[in-house]
Structure 1
């Protein structure tokens, strides 16, 4: 495993991070989830990403139990706040002072730790003043409940304003967690340049586009049994947008000889590709089996030459999304009050 600084901070994280969205307490049983976490540790992965909303709080609890007995100082635990997570009512989501303080306490209890290394705003809250949000995060840092602050799926303008307030409050705003892959490059135009300027590093999710870039989904064929496309607990909904595009799936199949020529599996090629971006501090992988962790972890330290990077672009040309406006930001007002 290799390690990178998270933005311009002194925090070192494994360049392959393990995430448990759509898997723990959902797609796989707990014994299998624990086995995947243990395999991640065996592969040298030290960075673990989760969120209070994953499996309606249950994913955090599974990760906490899976890491029980691991020396706390030897891992970096990252979680998030914003979406509804086990609560009801008008304050059960968002980035208000009330929701942040109540949520961090719940996350710490489920994770079985006194602090998280990175606490992240899971989305931007358009119904709460940003000053209130950042002041609440400052409280969390000063209380020792989080060491660093980050965000997920914020656009460049939001990053700049949040970072400005963080500097005024003297708290370390060091990370952004966007979707990023060979076919989803919406951060390259605005978010990455702003992040480089601000000293913010990317911890990217879905580097394999929900498994599409592994080549397992073949045009005209049913999805493989046990794949995310067959998961009725949320996985199928996420990958469905890619599976409807036969042109994209055909182009992905044409990446296979490029991967073989480089001595890589398709999954390793996809993870290694995002790590070529020097603003990416880590790529988050998920897994339903320990052997998937091992395969993906082998992308650490891989360097792709310029000819291979150009060949990938040529194959995927026409199927790459680059529009910065596609940064995912659901309006909070759209959430139902439960």
Structure 2
């Protein structure tokens, strides 16, 4: 495993991280979830990403139990706040009340005194940004989080938060967690240039486009039984964004490119996002330990410029560069 700095901070994270969005607490049994976490650790992954909303808080609990007994200083544990975790009017958003109560709940479920990175899971248009930033600052000052980041924020939102931090002397955002893959490149036009200038790193999710870039979904054929596209609990609606025959046919044309690079399709997809110098880590998920062992082989891979150009030629107009081009999965938690 190789490691990269998270943005312009001094924090190093594994360039492949393990996330448990739609697996822990919902898709797989806990013993399988624990086996996946332990497989990640065995492969050198030290960075683990979750959120309070995943599986209605159960995902944090499962991850905490799976990591119990590990040397805390050797891990980077990330979680997030924003989406509803209860029925009350203050059980959501980025108000000071919700942030301060949510960090305590996350720490309790994770079984740790602090998280390495606390992230705003989306931008809150109903709460003053300065209130949010001051609450995050206090979370850091209290030692409950070491760094702060955001997820799926637009360039202008990140810029506004950085300006407040500079003016008030608050801790700066060091990361953004966007969707990013060969098929979904929305961040490239505005978010990445801003973040490169400001020292904010990307921790990207869905680098394999929810399994579509593995090539297992074939045009004109029903999804394989038990795959994510057939399981409502594991995001079938999310995968459907990519399940058009014209997209699946383009993905199949990537097979010879992966073979030429000596990689599986999944490894090629993960390696592709890691070629972007602003990407600090690619999040992978898994419902079986062997998926982790396969995907981590993308770590340290350097793809030639000619191969990257051919990927662009193959995918062509199947690539999404503007969220208006599709009902973006980025709107989902």
| Normalised TM-score (structure 2) | 0.97
Q: Hey, what does 1:211 align to over in structure 2?
A: 211
Q: Hey, what does 1:161 align to over in structure 2?
A: 160
Check the 8 A contact 2:223/2:229 in 1, yes or no: yes
How many residue pairs match? The answer is 330
Q: Hey, what does 1:114 align to over in structure 2?
A: 113
| Normalised TM-score (structure 1) | 0.95
Evaluate the alpha carbon distance shift between residue 266 and residue 330 of structure 1 in structure 2; reply closer, same or farther with a 3 A threshold: closer
Q: Hey, what does 1:232 align to over in structure 2?
A: 232
- TM-aligned CA deviation for residue 169 of structure 1: 3.1
Q: Hey, what does 2:150 align to over in structure 1?
A: 151
Check the 8 A contact 2:275/2:302 in 1, yes or no: yes
Q: Hey, what does 1:188 align to over in structure 2?
A: 188
Q: Hey, what does 2:26 align to over in structure 1?
A: 26
- TM-aligned CA deviation for residue 170 of structure 1: 2.9
Evaluate the alpha carbon distance shift between residue 162 and residue 329 of structure 1 in structure 2; reply closer, same or farther with a 3 A threshold: farther
Q: Deviations over 1:114-152 (max 9, x none)?
A: 000000000000000000000000110000000000000
- TM-aligned CA deviation for residue 329 of structure 1: 7.2
Structure 2 unaligned residues grouped into runs of 5+: none
Q: Hey, what does 1:322 align to over in structure 2?
A: 321
Q: Hey, what does 1:125 align to over in structure 2?
A: 124
Cα separation, 2, equivalents of 1:60 and 1:279? 27
Structure 1 unaligned residues grouped into runs of 5+: none
* 1:69 match: secondary structure: coil
* 1:282 match: secondary structure: strand
- TM-aligned CA deviation for residue 47 of structure 1: 0.2
Root mean square deviation, CA, Å? 1.5
Q: Hey, what does 1:3 align to over in structure 2?
A: 3
Range with bigger deviation, 186-195 or 216-225: 216-225
Q: Hey, what does 2:44 align to over in structure 1?
A: 44
Evaluate the alpha carbon distance shift between residue 328 and residue 195 of structure 1 in structure 2; reply closer, same or farther with a 3 A threshold: farther
Cα separation, 2, equivalents of 1:76 and 1:166? 24
- TM-aligned CA deviation for residue 324 of structure 1: 6.2
Q: Deviations over 1:250-309 (max 9, x none)?
A: 000010011001100000000000000000000000000000001110000000001100
